[in-house]
Amino acid sequence: MASAAEQLAANINFSSFGKNEELKKRIWFTLGALIVYRLGTYIPLPGIDPAVFEASFHGKQQGVLELFNMFAGGAVQRMAIFALNIMPYISASIIIQLMSSVIPQLEALKKEGEQGRKVINQYTRYLTVVLAVFQAYGISLGLESQHGVVTDPGWFFRASTVITLTGGVLFLMWLGEQITSRGIGNGSSLIIFAGIVAAFPSAIANTLELSRQGAIPPAVLIGILLMSFGVIAFIVYMERAQRRLLITYPKRQQGNKVYEGQTSFLPLKLNTSGVIPPIFASSLLLLPATAANFAENSGAGGFIGLISTYLGHGRPLYIAVYVGMIVFFAFFYTAIVFDPAETADNLKKHGGFIPGIRPGERTAHYIDHVLTRVTVLGAGYLAIICLLPELLISQFALPFYFGGTSLLIVVSVTMDTVAQIHGHLQAQQYEGLVKKAKLRGKRK
């Protein structure tokens, strides 16, 4: 039998969308914020020749630099003020979360609730500034090493580049937080999503042009199209997959009322970590590889050139590191967002138990055991989704926008945003039903 929530969700009338003023304001705010972001990706850095840089970029666009350009919505190719995108903030979040697991002070802050979360967020912002300054300074040196790109090299150009790019990162970080609180969906994910989607038309046009020139056989083009649809369908199926644990609540009495026993389910998503592992893995791989790409012409050579060579897409080292990071972050982020011990304690407090499992510590061990097995499948799914198209891309030199990482981000963020819209509509309809029930009660 469907629960009351499921029945309510099934009966939602999407025509009520037009009556939900708050939801419309949130959607318009989100769209406006994303338009501002896209405009910023077309404003070039002061002190550079955009045409010369773009020509230089096309000469080295294969590899991690093009992946960085994909996440930045084309801002790297134009060397815009948002060229760093929101990646330093994501990298800072990774580092702070890793440190929270090993530093007792940060771990204690996590347990202090909302106040502790605010302090950790502030630490993340400080670290974001440090990473952004470091990356921006490296970019300024890389730009100066390329002949004709910088009109007036020197410390003034380096300082202005650092200030501009760091300011762009901080603005996008603030914009993402505003989207999360005042709009629809996760702000950081939507910013990356907007950059990827904006480049889809040109990526499709480039692919068709390669096919017209004979670089891609028609059969391969059709196969890639079918593979893209297959990957999207597979992502949707796996993102909705759950392992449900049966929970039983025995008959209980409160005062003069006797409540019958009930059963429900504890859903464990196959991919609890969502799109976080590939984003985290990609952002960490971008740190050394991007520096190597920009330093190729600066005379650094040696070790930096070796990194650039072995961390190219399709290379064994890149594949091994990428898969390892995806698997690690799948388990790590799942451990952060889902605590089996806390779940077992909550079940025990409310009188619920898993049939055949003793409440308390045994239940926590059982949930952890099941969650680990489920996460193994989820990590394997993420690795397959992100690697299979990447190998095909390296084989046929297709744009990165057809890769598994980009499709996973687009599909997952779309599903999450639609779910939030659905939740707002469901809440509105629930409030309407409550008001009608109160009116009927007054009439009686």
**Residues 76 and 200 occupy one common structural domain:** yes
Residue 3 inside a domain? The answer is no
pLDDT of residue 376: 92
If asked whether residues 417 and 309 sit together in one domain, one would say yes
Any idea what DSSP says for residue 44? B
Q: Given phi > 0 = left and psi -120 to 50 = alpha, else beta, which region is 254? A: beta
Q: Say if CB 376 and CB 174 are below 8 A apart.
A: no
User: Among 162, 180, 215, where does a domain finish?
Assistant: 215
Boundaries of domain holding 386:
217-439
Q: Is the dihedral of CA 123, 107, 190, 283 positive or negative?
A: positive
pLDDT number for residue 157: 87
Has residue 152 been placed in a domain?
yes
- Which amino acid is present at 430? Y
Length of the chain: 444
Measured CA to CA, the distance from residue 160 to residue 45 in angstroms comes to 9
pLDDT at 163: 93
- pLDDT at residue 172 in the model: 92
At residue 66, the pLDDT reads 65
Model confidence, pTM: 0.76
Angle formed by the axes of helices 114-144 and 87-100, nearest 10° = 130
Local structure of residue 244 (DSSP, 8 states): E
Provide the β-strand partners of residue 269: 242
Q: Please report the pLDDT score of residue 2 as a whole number.
A: 41
Same domain for 426 and 377? yes
Question: Both 396 and 422 in a single domain?
Answer: yes
Whole-number Å distance between alpha carbons of 323 and 387: 8
Q: What is the domain count for the chain?
A: 2
* Chain-centre distance for alpha carbon 312: 22
Q: Is 247 found in the same domain as 136?
A: no
Helices (H) and strands (E) in the chain — how many of each? 18, 4
Last residue of a domain, one of 157, 180, 215: 215
The predicted structure's pLDDT at residue 106:
78
> Cα angle at 136 between 134 and 139, to 5 degrees?
110
Helix, strand, or coil here: 59? helix
181 and 273, same domain (yes or no): no
Last residue of a domain, one of 186, 215, 244: 215
**Position 2 in a domain:** no
Q: Which residues have C-beta within 8 Å of that of residue 225, sequence separation ≥ 6?
A: none
* Residues 316, 386 within the same domain: yes
Residue 5 lies in a domain: no
- CA-CA distance, 351 to 146, in Å (whole number)? 68
CATH number at residue 396: 1.10.3370.10
Q: What is the DSSP letter of 17?
A: G
Question: Considering the domain boundaries, does residue 144 fall inside one?
Answer: yes
CB 353 within 8 A of CB 247: yes
Which pLDDT score is estimated for 9?
44
d(CA 359, CA 352): 8
The reply to whether 16 falls in a domain is no
pLDDT digits (tens, 9 = 90+) for 309-359: 666 666 777 788 888 988 998 898 888 778 888 888 888 887 788 888 888
First CA to last CA distance, the chain: 30
Distance CA(245)–CA(269), nearest Å, equals 11
Q: Does 4 reside within a domain? A: no
Tell whether 141 and 237 lie within a shared domain: no
Q: Are residues 110 and 209 in the same domain?
A: yes
Domain presence at residue 290: yes
| 116 and 83 within one domain | yes
Who's near 13: CB < 8 A, 6+ residues apart? 429
**Are 354 and 363 spatial neighbours (Cβ–Cβ below 8 Å)?**
yes
Taking the C-alpha atoms of residue 255 and residue 195, their distance in angstroms, rounded to an integer, is 58
- Residues 170, 247, single domain; the answer is no
Q: What is the pLDDT along the chain (444 residues), one digit of tens a residue?
A: 344 344 444 444 555 556 677 888 888 999 999 999 999 888 888 888 888 787 777 655 455 566 677 777 777 778 888 888 888 888 888 788 778 777 888 778 777 777 888 888 888 899 999 999 988 888 888 788 777 778 888 888 889 989 999 999 999 999 998 998 888 888 888 888 888 888 778 777 877 877 787 777 788 778 778 877 888 888 888 888 888 888 887 766 666 666 666 788 888 888 888 878 887 787 677 666 555 555 554 555 556 566 666 666 667 777 888 889 889 988 988 887 788 888 888 888 877 888 888 888 888 898 888 999 999 999 999 888 887 766 666 666 555 555 567 778 888 888 888 888 887 777 766 666 666 666 666 665
What are the pLDDT digits (tens) for 221-231? 787 788 778 88
Same domain, 263 and 194: no
Phi (first) and psi of residue 264, to 5 degrees? -145, -175
Long-range contacts of 313-318 (CB under 8 A, 24+ apart): 313/62, 313/63, 313/64, 313/67, 313/390, 313/393, 313/394, 313/400, 314/390, 314/391, 314/393, 314/394, 314/395, 318/285
Enumerate the H helices of 199-275 as residue ranges: 200-212, 218-240
Enumerate the H helices of 145-217 as residue ranges. 155-182, 187-198, 200-212
Q: Identify which of 99, 100, 89, 176 has the alpha carbon closest to the alpha carbon of residue 124.
A: 89
Instruction: Check residue 64 and give its pLDDT.
Output: 54
